[in-house]
Amino acid sequence: MSARLTAALLAAALLAASPARADGPSESSPENPPENPPAREVPDYDGRPEPDADPADAALWVPRILTGPLYLISEYLLRAPLGFVVTELERSRVFEFLFDVFVFGPDRNIGVLPTAFFDFGLAPSAGVFMFWNGFLADQNQLTLHAATGGLEFLMLTVRDRWRPSEETTVAARFQLLTRPDQQLGRIESPLPAAQRPTARYGVEQIEGGIDVSWRPWGRNLIGASAGYRGVAFLDRRWREEDRTVREIYGPDALPDAYATGFSSLDLGVRFVIDSRPESELSQGGVRVEGHAIEHIGFGGVPDSSWVSWGASAAAATDVLGRGRVFGLTATVRGVSPVGEAIVPFVDLPELGGVDGPLPGFQPGLVRGRSLAALVFHYTWPLHAFLDSVLHYGLGNVFGDTFTDFDVELARMSFGLSIAPRFEGTHLFELGLAFGTRPFRDGANIESVRFVVGARNGL
Amino acid sequence: MTRGWPAILSLALLAGCASAPARFALRDAMWVDDDRRPFPRRPGELYNPPQWDRIDHTLFRPLSELFTYELDREAINVNALDEVPDSSWFTNRLGRAPMSPQRLAQGACRDAGEPPRPWTVVRAKPAGTSPGLVVRAADDRTFLFKIDFDLPERGTAADAIATRLFWAAGYHTPCNRVVRFARDDLALATEPIDGHDPPGEDAVQRLLDAAGRAPDGRYRGSLSEYIEGQPLGGWRYSGTRDDDPNDVVPHEHRREVRGMVVLSAWLNHIDARAENNQDAWIEGDDGQGYLRHYVLDVGDSFGQQLPSSPLLSQSFGHAFYVDVQHITENFLSLGLAERPYFDAPRGPAGDVLGFYDIARFDAEGWHNGYPNPAFDRATERDRAWMARIIARFTEAQLRAAIAAGDLSRPEVSEELLRILLGRRERILERYLTRLSPLTEPTVRGGSLCLTDLALRSGLRAERRYYTRAFEGLPGERRPTRGARRYGDRACMPLPAAEASPEAPAYWVVDVVAETPGRERTAPARVHLYQLGPGAYRVVGLERPDGFDPPG
């Protein structure tokens, strides 16, 4: 008797009734012929007596019994019920039915997909994502994404992406957003601020714009954009335990534009020079990127104009081959007011979050007038579609154009992440990273950032 | 030993345990397994859920098996000569008898010619991931009609070639042919056939528009003849069918199912799963029948590729689609675990053969697309058994099989031949150099002769043989006079004892093959009865993995 069979018998005895395989053969015969004979005996294939029972197999009953509960959980709480459900769904062609319901059009080019727990982090939410490939033109894709997590979480995004040629992309976007869960840690300018707990605030935002990019070859890119933003900040708690920005900062020291909100016209240019060949695996090479956006403010920040700018230079080498890439990236970012302009605090460069150079810091935790960071990263492939990245970085935010730059003010960020190796936004990410206080303040860990799940790339 | 980490525990427990040797019975080796006994009640159709099959074998089955501490065991349906008897699963073809290249080229097809035209389109292809048609030839035979979609010639050629190699190795397969045809060769049915509405002209034309063209301008496709009998779903790589009284050996313990891993490795057939198999009800005149077990679809062989992910395509055969072990090892080692497939180049044959190569081929570490319970349990002996079959393929036979693929560029055919021979050599190097490659024991004139497959296959040119003999089991060692080479056979005079049919002597003879300066294989251990002076009868052949004397 095989070990697996005996273990199954034990499990069956303990459970009194073992789940049958969901997809076992069924008898069918219209003529109802006589019953089949009993199963034949297993032949004596080699003409030798059966060997004695293996004493090792008997001895293995000890660990089998000891880990029996784990087997029961694995086999009868996971495998059997899941197998039953998925099998029946497949047999009933439920997946095909759902696909037909949600994806249609002459070439399956139109789709409507529900989303849940996706659009606002893990906050309860539901939404719908629609796409229409070939809308009005062959190389045009229209997407619409709407989601809500109640009246406090609302989002509507419409994008149209047209590729008139292989190299050129013209994209238009429009978004309405309201959410109460934004966080603001500290704004360090010109010097590190006093310790403040993280504050919460809400945001209501409308924005739209157009973006044109041209990729003459490889990953190199030149682009320009023009857009409009209207932003209002809501000084209210998201959760009971939260403290608002007004409570933390006080009414006289609120971040710029927090009380008034703002509107702006944003005109930007950017470039990417990238020597890395296009490849599925990470590659070595040199990448230089720069951008500048002029913001012309009105509304809450009348007669204000400021320029966001940034550049990064990265050198990487696949010294070990096969996508195992060591790299060093230097990043500077800043925002420069034109004259005595007010710069809304959300336009201050931030150290961490989704777009910051130091992933160990939570979104909104550290912002400043300028930012400098140096990050060493090692990327290696886990599988055909999966990379892991180890990073160690130094950097911080500073005053206007690094006026108070000091190595002792540098913070550290280090961590590990796993993400699919696709260009653009990640569909999934798993990461753990840490951010510290500045060296001058002891470099103790100040931020722990654990990321699991999907990043909203829709 | 066991699979996985319980091996450590079981090895400790096994220390000092050994079972007594057993004599073989005085009888002929079983060459036919009588599992085609007719029975009255036709089994039901078995449904194999493709997605759950992937998920289960990738995650849940391995997780459950962690806690069963299953010991490795040898396959069950192995006869006294370490071979597999003919059955409803397997027929010894190349393994037991010579086969002409022409016969191999014909494969499972009943004749060498194409089915007579026109081919009437009956309906759209009912299942599978790629579209196709069901057509009926003028002689009323029914075929599945397929075309190459993304990669010209790849799928149709692989289907025709690999099916013939599977057939020659011993499996039941359909008859698959590459065909060239004109539009007029396809006729549209004007009314439903067998209750199916035929597809419209537009649907057929769309399919043809996607089909590749042969150099002569005609369309290129493949015809797969419907197998004999009523299809009842794909047989699985584990368990038995409760409704088939002949099916008493768990499939994961069938040697031909386990050993298929080596054939699949040779051909890079990564899609070995239940959905690509088929049970067929073979019914007799009396209404009773039995199940025959087919390997239905091996069209993924050689250079299967996903156009959307060359990197994943490069990993085919080297890692599972989602390879938990590789991912874990790569993560923990910070990428220092060597994965040569990450920078595999496409071969000179381009898309037709993709990343199918010799350089990165690891005969022992080859991976199916996702874990397979029978492949997981294949032992050294199961694998060596299939290697011995593969050793019998000649270059002429391979050329004949490749010709069936009707590849338009001769250099692609030559490249495929080169790779097949190169991978075959790696398989033989791995599996014919540890366990004995000596086989087909025969006795003539008081001499025992065995075929040395390392010589026959061209793997080795020089050989030396060592012999020893034991009278009885356990027995006394008796002097032998050594073995000599005759072509690809090794022969040795047998020792003699006083024996008669009433009081036969039992002999165990070890023949060890050695390649000077290279390996010395473990012995081929032949068991014989001596029934009188010069009268011997071979009753068994073992392939121990060491040099300990019998008993």
| pLDDT grade for A427, boundaries at 50, 70 and 90 | low
Could you report the per-residue pLDDT of A171-195, keeping only the tens digit for each? 999 999 999 989 888 776 544 455 5
* A29/B contact by beta carbon, under 8 A: yes
Chain B partners within 8 Å of A43 (Cβ): 30, 33-34, 77
Closest chain B residue to A50 measured between Cα atoms?
Answer: B22
* B325/A contact by beta carbon, under 8 A: no
Probe site for chain B from A281, A383, A386 (most B CB atoms < 10 A): A383
pLDDT at A52 over 50: yes
Which H or E run includes A326?
strand A325-337
Check CB contact under 8 Å for A418 and B331: yes
Between CA A63 and CA B136 the distance in angstroms is 58
| pLDDT on residue A21 | 41
| pLDDT on residue B190 | 80
Per-position DSSP letters for B165-206, written without gaps between them: HHHHHTBB---EEEEEE-GGGEEE-SS-BTTBPPPPHHHHHH
Closest CB from A33, A320, A382 relative to B330: A382
Check CB contact under 8 Å for A48 and B80: yes
Q: Give the highest mean pLDDT range of A101-110, A270-279, B515-524.
A: B515-524
Closest chain A residue to B345 measured between Cα atoms?
Answer: A322
| pLDDT on residue B3 | 54
Label residue B239 left, alpha or beta by phi (over 0 means left) and psi (-120 to 50 means alpha). left
Chain B segment 332-371 residues within 8 A of A by beta carbon are: 334-336, 339-340, 342-343
* A116/B contact by beta carbon, under 8 A: no
B259 vs A224, A307, B75, B379, CA distance in Å?
A: 61, 69, 10, 8
Task: Give how far B38 is from chain A: nearest CA, Å.
Answer: 9
Chain B segment 205-234 residues within 8 A of A by beta carbon are: 233
Burial zone of A323 (CB within 10 Å; 0-12 exposed, 13-18 middle, 19+ buried): buried
The label of the residue with tokens 């391995």 reads: B62
| pLDDT grade for A457, boundaries at 50, 70 and 90 | very low
- DSSP-derived letter for residue B258 is H
| pLDDT on residue B210 | 84
Chain B segment 518-547 residues within 8 A of A by beta carbon are: 539-540
Could you report the per-residue pLDDT of A191-239, keeping only the tens digit for each? 445 556 788 999 999 999 999 999 998 889 999 999 999 999 999 888 8
Check CB contact under 8 Å for B64 and A56: no
Residue pair B521/B439 in contact by the 8 Å Cβ criterion: no
Residue pair B251/B235 in contact by the 8 Å Cβ criterion: yes
**Cα B415 from chain centroid (whole Å):** 22
Between CA A117 and CA A133 the distance in angstroms is 25
Probe site for chain A from B14, B61, B64 (most A CB atoms < 10 A): B64
* A24/B contact by beta carbon, under 8 A: yes
Between CA B289 and CA B285 the distance in angstroms is 9
Chain B partners within 8 Å of A1 (Cβ): none
Q: Is the dihedral of CA A100, A101, A102, A103 positive or negative?
A: positive
| pLDDT on residue A26 | 46
Residue pair B378/B258 in contact by the 8 Å Cβ criterion: yes
Chain A segment 278-297 residues within 8 A of B by beta carbon are: 280-281
Between CA B114 and CA B108 the distance in angstroms is 13
The label of the residue with tokens 């250099």 reads: B411
Between CA B430 and CA B388 the distance in angstroms is 11
Short-list B471, B469, B473, B463, CA closest to B437: B463
The answer, yes or no, to whether the previous bond of B310 is cis (omega within 30 of 0) is no
pLDDT at A8 over 80: no
Closest CB from A27, A44, A59 relative to B41: A27
* B310/A contact by beta carbon, under 8 A: yes
Short-list B93, B263, B124, B105, CA closest to B189: B124
Closest CB from A7, A68, A322 relative to B342: A322
Closest CB from A37, A59, A68 relative to B39: A37
Chain B partners within 8 Å of A44 (Cβ): 30
Check CB contact under 8 Å for B78 and A46: yes
| pLDDT grade for A454, boundaries at 50, 70 and 90 | low
Check CB contact under 8 Å for B311 and A64: no
Between CA B330 and CA B346 the distance in angstroms is 24
Each residue's pLDDT expressed in tens, for chain B with a length of 551 residues: 445 545 544 444 444 444 456 899 999 999 999 999 999 999 999 999 999 999 999 999 999 999 999 999 999 999 999 999 999 999 999 988 899 999 999 999 988 788 999 999 988 877 666 778 999 999 999 999 999 887 889 999 999 999 999 999 999 999 999 999 998 898 888 877 777 777 878 888 888 888 878 888 889 999 999 999 999 999 999 999 999 999 999 999 999 999 999 999 999 999 999 999 999 999 999 999 999 999 999 999 998 998 888 889 999 999 999 999 999 999 999 999 988 888 888 899 999 999 999 999 999 999 999 999 999 999 999 999 999 999 999 999 999 999 999 999 999 999 999 999 999 999 999 999 999 999 999 999 899 999 999 999 999 999 999 999 999 988 899 999 889 999 999 999 999 999 999 999 999 999 999 999 999 999 999 999 999 999 999 999 999 999 999 97
Chain A partners within 8 Å of B37 (Cβ): 37, 40
Bigger pLDDT: A284 vs B165: B165
| pLDDT on residue B10 | 47
pLDDT at A395 over 70: yes
Between CA B220 and CA B160 the distance in angstroms is 13
Between CA B545 and CA B527 the distance in angstroms is 16
> Residues near B455 by Cβ (< 8 Å), separated by ≥ 6?
B461, B463, B485, B487, B488
Q: Is the dihedral of CA B375, B376, B382, B385 positive or negative?
A: positive
A22 in helix, strand or coil?
coil
Task: Give how far B39 is from chain A: nearest CA, Å.
Answer: 6
| pLDDT on residue A19 | 37
- DSSP-derived letter for residue A428 is -
Phi and psi at residue B306, to the nearest 5°: -105, 110
Q: Which two tokens stand for residue A341?
A: 């302009």
- Pairing mode, strands A154-162 and A126-133: unpaired
Residue pair A341/A304 in contact by the 8 Å Cβ criterion: yes
The label of the residue with tokens 């599945």 reads: B144
- DSSP-derived letter for residue A238 is S
Q: Which two tokens stand for residue A374?
A: 């140096």
* B31/A contact by beta carbon, under 8 A: no
Closest chain A residue to B49 measured between Cα atoms?
Answer: A87
- Pairing mode, strands A445-453 and A370-383: unpaired
Task: Give how far A395 is from chain B: nearest CA, Å.
Answer: 25
| pLDDT on residue A31 | 58
| pLDDT on residue A24 | 43
Check CB contact under 8 Å for B79 and A45: yes
Between CA A319 and CA B262 the distance in angstroms is 35
Average pLDDT of the segment spanning A133-140: 92
pLDDT at A272 over 60: yes
Burial zone of B462 (CB within 10 Å; 0-12 exposed, 13-18 middle, 19+ buried): exposed
Residue pair B522/B434 in contact by the 8 Å Cβ criterion: yes
* A65/B contact by beta carbon, under 8 A: no
Give ∠ CA B101-B461-B395 in degrees, rounded to 5: 15
**Cα A276 from chain centroid (whole Å):** 24
Between CA A231 and CA A264 the distance in angstroms is 9
Q: ipTM of this predicted complex?
A: 0.90
Q: Which two tokens stand for residue B419?
A: 């790779």
Between CA B393 and CA B428 the distance in angstroms is 12
Bigger pLDDT: B495 vs A7: B495
Chains A–B, number of C-beta pairs less than 8 Å apart:
225
* A79/B contact by beta carbon, under 8 A: yes
- Pairing mode, strands B524-532 and B505-514: antiparallel
